[in-house]
Structures are given as C-alpha cells and as structure tokens.
C-alpha cells in the first residue's frame, strides 16, 4: 500500500511538472504569436500605455487612423507639456471608439477626449470602402486592445446587433484567449514577434508617416456647399453616448476633423451635431492657411499627414487645448519620465524625416549636395553611382560639397565608372576608366546589405541594390540614394544628368501633381482636375 501511495504521489508530481511546463510553453507561444508582424501598426499600443501609466494622461485621442497619424502626442509633450495618448485604431468605427473609451476610463481620468469625426460617415459598422471580409480585422484591432472582458462582450453584442447575418455566431473566446485570436500569426512571424515592436512604431499610440505623396487640395471650395451630408441616427446616438460617458468621468469631449478630404457639407453636419450636444468642434480644413498647411509636402496619402502636416496640426490643436483647458505642463514632472525616454527616438525620427524633406526640396545638384552635407552621417547612408560613358565634370562648388561629404571629387571626375558608399561615416570607393569594366562596391551593416555597380554597357546597367532591391533611378549621370538608418528605408533616390542644362531629374515620384478631389460616392474620392 505504501508503494501504491508512493506511485500515486510520483504520478501526481510528474503530472504537475508536465502541466507546468505545458503552461510555460503555452504562455511563450502566446507571447510570440500575439504581436502580428507584417502590419505597419502595433495595435493596442495606446491602450497598453493607458494601462501602464494609470491616471497620468490629461488628453486622450480616439478615432480612426487620422487620430493615430495626424496628431503627435510626443510633440504635444515636448513642445507644450501636454500628457496625451492616442487609443484610436485604423478604420475604427464610432461604436468601437465608445467601448475603447469605456475601457480607457477604467484607468484614466483625462480632462479632454478628442474624437476625430472621420468615422461619422462610415456605414454603421465600418467604412463603406472596406471590402467584405476585412471588417473582421478592423474589429479585431479595437476589441483586442480592450482589456475588460465585459466591455469586449458589449462591443461584440453591438457588432452582432448591427451586422447580424455575419456575426451571429461570433465566439467570445476569440476575444478573450490570446491563442484563439493570434494562433494564425505563425504564418507571418518575423523578428518583431521575438524582439517586440520598436518604440518608433507606436509611441504613445501614434505612428509617424514619412512619405511625401501626391497633394490633395482642400475640396471645400470644389464641392457644393449646399449638398447634404448625413450622419446616421445610429452614429449620432453613439456620439451622444460618448459625450455622456466623458461627462460622467469629468472629461470634455472635443470633436475634430483632422484630415483633409472632407466636404463643406460634412463639416456642417459635424458642426451641427457638435452644437446639438454642446461640444467644441475644430476642423483643420478651416485653418489650413492659418497653420501654413502645404498640400504638396505635408501629406502622406489620402487623408493622412506625414510628419510635416502632423506637426502643424498638432501644434494648432495643442495650443487650442492649452488655451481652453487647464492642462498642466508635465515636462518637469518625473512621473512622466517615459516621454523623456521616448524623446531620443522621436528626435531621430524627426531628423530622418527632416532630412528627407530637405532633400525633396533641393531641386538643383548644388542644393542637393549642400543638403546632403548637412545631414548626420550616422543617420544617413549615402550611395553613389555614375551611369555615363565618360567622366562627369563638377563645378567648383560641387567639388567642395563632394569633399565635405568625404568622397573624392578627383575620382569622380577622372573615371567614367564610379561607385561609392558612405556607411556609418566609413567611405568605400571604386572607379574604372574603361566604360565596360564595372566599378563596384558592396558590403553590409545591421539590417542593410548594399551592392553598387557603375558601368556603361549594353548588358549591365549601373545600379544601387539595397537589401537586393534596386533603389537607384538608373538615370544618366550621377545617381544618388540616401538611406535612413532609423527609418530603415530609402528617403531619397535621385539622378542628376550633368550633361544637359535643363535637368530633367525628377525630385518627386513620377506623375507627382496636386489634385483637387471630389467625392463621387460616399467616402469615394476621385481627382477632379490637375493643379500646378
């Protein structure tokens, strides 16, 4: 009997160890699978901050991707001392903004909640432009970010009510169990799943967009000011509930339109709603001139701003918030030290973007080289190749800039084929006098492999390969590619054809133009006419 009892104990201990190891493996698997890679945006980052820094934030932004990208909470802190966070999600419908705020209020007592009005014109559940089947992903982003199971359930119940055919059998476990919702991420694992997101990906729930794309002129003047725009009763009801929720927690709701492809009619509809429920409403489209918004340089895509535009809108909005609410300046408060931790990364991002900006604005070879010389050598890697059958000739100032950059102006003017890389301030050059004998430079650093070829041959073209992808324009003359270390992307790719007086080298993407947009169907925008 003793032996039997001993065996039983042995089995129980073994089972306990088996289960303990199993639980550990399970938690590890959840941890690695949970962070979805292949997505530009770290869902739930803002809500993670909300839960980590309890009762710290004075301003909370919520809404769609315009709240995430078009406002910078880090800039609000650094420039104005406002402690802010964004808990929005891309394509977030209004009712999910409501439940997100409900969850947020469990750990925060902000003075102001800023709700972007873009989603007011969605269908009840999501943007009409969203293709069938994508709404799962949209809901997931917001519902996954909510911590409270009961609030998740309320959100699910609302989805079921608004979209009964599709979501009748939605399983609550899907929104409660990490493995249940994230297990399929095994297909898209990358280093971020194991190292976590870079701080730059999701600081304070924001994302910084760095493309400078086609401009879109404010269409207020283009559209019929008397045209009707309707906010559905369902959404109006949700906005009212958000206002009541904010009031109940001592916060003031502020409505904003922080994006540019809006219409006067929609502005009126939102303004009316704001008036009806007694909340302030700010619309960037009414102050674009005041804030110096440049539709050729400040836009990322559609309704998103790049950092240029974001900083302008942020400063405007932030100043208005400071003037109208008693917001303490948190810059000297050690309880807000995480902003200081983030400062270095943020400044790097700003510098990288400013470098890109300034390069884009440089239209001549001299301007370009001057700008290049002013950029940080640790932040920007420079790659040069020539594509010409004879050596290029440089002016005195151009030679001086080359020297300042560390390259050899004598080499580039003496040899037809010239390839060079300046990586982490280390310079590598190669040159050949015979046109069909390639000059080449190759190497690798963290996250970047490069291979530069300079040749003038029927079969081989000059090129600049970064991570095995062609990054140069392969144009005649001098081709330059500038790579940002912190952004891990090419911020400039140009060529200068020094043979011709008229320099055709494009400074922006092909087909770049500023367009006036017209809304031809709900939330569907088409170009009306070209503008200079």
Partner 1 sequence: MSFISLTFLIFLAVTVLLYFVVPSAHRWLVLLAASLVFYGWGGLPQVVFVLVTSLVVWSAALRMDAIYETASRSEDAREAAKAAKKKARRVLTAACAVLIAALVYTKAGAAILGALLKVVRGEPVTVKILVPMGISYYTFAVVGYLADVYWKKDKAEKNWAKLLLYMIFFPQIVQGPIPRHKKLAPQLTEGHPFSWERLCFGLQRALWGYFKKMVIADRFAVIVNEVIGGYQTYEGVLFIIALASSAVQLYCDFSGCMDIALGVSEILGITLDENFRRPFFSRSAAEFWRRWHITLGTWFKDYVYMPLAVSPRLMKLGRSAGKVFGKRFAKGLMTAIPLLVVWLLTGLWHGTGPDYVVWGLYWGVLIMISTIWAPEIKKLDDLLHIDTESVWWHRFQMFRTFCIFCFGRLLTITPDLKASRVILKKIFTQHNVWALTNGTLYTLGLDRPNVWVALFSLGLLWYISIREEAGSDIRREIADCPLPVRWFLYYALFFAVIIFGMYGSGLSGSGFVYAAY
Q: Does 457 bind partner 1 (CB under 8 A)?
A: no
Q: Does 181 bind partner 1 (CB under 8 A)?
A: yes
Instruction: Give the DSSP letter of residue 460.
Output: -
- Residue whose token pair is 């808990």: 87
Give the angle subtended at the CA of 491 by the CAs of 338 and 515, to the nearest 5°: 105
Q: Is residue 93 a contact partner of residue 135, using CB atoms and an 8 Å limit?
A: no
Q: Is residue 354 a contact partner of residue 347, using CB atoms and an 8 Å limit?
A: no
* Sole window of 133-141, 294-302, 396-404, 462-470 interacting with partner 1 (rule: CB under 8 A): 133-141
Q: Does 190 bind partner 1 (CB under 8 A)?
A: no
- Residue whose token pair is 């594509």: 387
Sign of the alpha-carbon dihedral angle for 464, 465, 466, 470: positive
Site string for partner 1, 286-315 (x = CB under 8 A): ------------------------------
* Sole window of 17-25, 208-216, 274-282, 325-333 interacting with partner 1 (rule: CB under 8 A): 17-25
Write down the least CB distance from residue 152 to partner 1, Å. Answer: 13
Chain centroid, CA 333 distance in Å: 28
Q: Does 177 bind partner 1 (CB under 8 A)?
A: yes
* Sole window of 130-138, 155-163, 279-287, 508-516 interacting with partner 1 (rule: CB under 8 A): 130-138
**What is the rounded (10 degree) CA torsion for 189, 191, 194, 196?**
-110
Q: Does 34 bind partner 1 (CB under 8 A)?
A: no
**Cα 383 to Cα 64, 109, 465, 488, distances in angstroms:** 38, 50, 10, 15
Please identify, using beta-carbon distances, which residue of 137 and 281 lies nearer to partner 1.
Answer: 137
Please identify, using beta-carbon distances, which residue of 11 and 445 lies nearer to partner 1.
Answer: 11
Q: Does 150 bind partner 1 (CB under 8 A)?
A: no
> How many residues of this chain interact with partner 1, rule: CB under 8 A?
24
- Which parts of 205-351 are beta strand (E)? 215-217, 252-257, 281-283, 299-301, 304-305
Write down the least CB distance from residue 150 to partner 1, Å. Answer: 18
* Sole window of 91-99, 134-142, 223-231, 268-276 interacting with partner 1 (rule: CB under 8 A): 134-142
Q: Does 33 bind partner 1 (CB under 8 A)?
A: yes
Residue choice 31, 140, 488, 507 for contact with partner 1 (CB under 8 A) = 140
**Cα 360 to Cα 248, 505, 532, distances in angstroms:** 48, 12, 17
Q: Does 173 bind partner 1 (CB under 8 A)?
A: yes
Q: Does 133 bind partner 1 (CB under 8 A)?
A: yes
Q: Does 157 bind partner 1 (CB under 8 A)?
A: no
If you compute the radius of gyration of the chain from its CA atoms, what whole number of angstroms results?
27
Report which of 530, 433, 522 is spatially closest to residue 120, judged by C-alpha positions.
522
Phi, psi for residue 470 in degrees, rounded to 5:
-70, 125
Q: Which residues bind partner 1 (CB under 8 A)?
A: 11, 14, 18, 21-22, 25-26, 29, 33, 133, 136-137, 140, 171, 173-174, 177, 179-181, 183-184, 186-187
């Amino acid at each position: 009997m003793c032996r039997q009892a001993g065996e039983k104990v042995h089995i129980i201990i073994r089972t306990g160890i088996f289960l303990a190891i199993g639980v550990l493996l399970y938690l590890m698997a959840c941890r690695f699978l949970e962070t979805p890679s292949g997505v530009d945006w770290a869902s739930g980052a803002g809500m993670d901050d909300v839960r980590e820094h309890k009762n710290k934030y004075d301003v909370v932004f919520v809404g769609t991707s315009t709240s995430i990208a078009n406002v910078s909470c880090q800039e609000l802190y650094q420039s104005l001392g406002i402690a802010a966070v964004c808990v929005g999600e891309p394509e977030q419908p209004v009712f999910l903004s409501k439940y997100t705020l409900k969850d947020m209020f469990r750990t925060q007592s902000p003075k102001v909640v800023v709700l972007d009005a873009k989603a007011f014109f969605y269908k009840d559940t999501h943007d009409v432009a969203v293709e069938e089947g994508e709404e799962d992903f949209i809901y997931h982003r917001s519902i996954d970010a909510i911590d409270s199971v009961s609030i998740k359930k309320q959100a699910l119940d609302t989805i079921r009510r608004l979209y009964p055919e599709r979501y009748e059998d939605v399983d609550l476990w899907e929104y409660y169990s990490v493995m249940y919702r994230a297990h399929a991420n095994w297909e898209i694992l990358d280093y971020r799943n194991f190292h976590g997101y870079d701080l730059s990906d999701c600081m304070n729930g924001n994302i910084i967009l760095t493309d400078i794309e086609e401009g879109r002129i404010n269409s207020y003047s283009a559209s019929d000011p008397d045209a009707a725009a309707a906010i559905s009763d369902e959404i109006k009801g949700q906005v009212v509930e958000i206002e009541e929720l904010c009031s109940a927690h001592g916060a003031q709701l502020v409505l904003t339109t922080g994006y540019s492809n809006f219409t006067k009619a929609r502005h009126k509809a939102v303004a009316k709603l704001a008036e009806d429920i007694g909340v302030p409403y700010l619309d960037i489209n009414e102050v674009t001139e005041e804030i110096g918004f440049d539709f050729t340089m400040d836009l990322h895509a559609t309704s998103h701003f790049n950092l240029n535009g974001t900083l302008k809108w942020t400063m405007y909005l932030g100043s208005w918030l400071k003037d109208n609410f008693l917001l303490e300046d948190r810059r000297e408060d050690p309880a807000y030290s995480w902003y200081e931790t983030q400062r270095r990364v943020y400044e790097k991002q700003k510098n990288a973007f400013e470098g890109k900006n300034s390069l884009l604005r440089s239209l001549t070879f001299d301007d370009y080289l001057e700008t290049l010389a002013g950029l940080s050598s640790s932040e920007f890697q420079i790659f040069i190749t020539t594509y010409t059958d004879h050596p290029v000739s440089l002016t005195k100032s151009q030679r001086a800039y080359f020297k300042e950059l560390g390259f050899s102006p004598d080499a580039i003017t003496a040899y037809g084929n010239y390839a060079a890389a300046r990586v982490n301030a280390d310079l590598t050059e190669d040159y050949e006098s015979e046109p069909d004998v390639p000059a080449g430079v190759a190497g690798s650093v963290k996250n970047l492999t490069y291979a530069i070829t300079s040749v003038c041959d029927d079969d081989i073209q000059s090129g600049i390969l970064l991570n095995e992808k062609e990054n140069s324009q392969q144009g005649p003359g001098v081709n330059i590619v500038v790579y940002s270390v912190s952004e891990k992307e090419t911020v400039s790719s140009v060529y200068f054809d020094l043979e011709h007086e008229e320099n055709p080298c494009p400074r922006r993407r092909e087909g770049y133009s500023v367009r006036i947009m017209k809304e031809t169907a709900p939330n569907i925008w088409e170009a009306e006419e070209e503008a200079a």
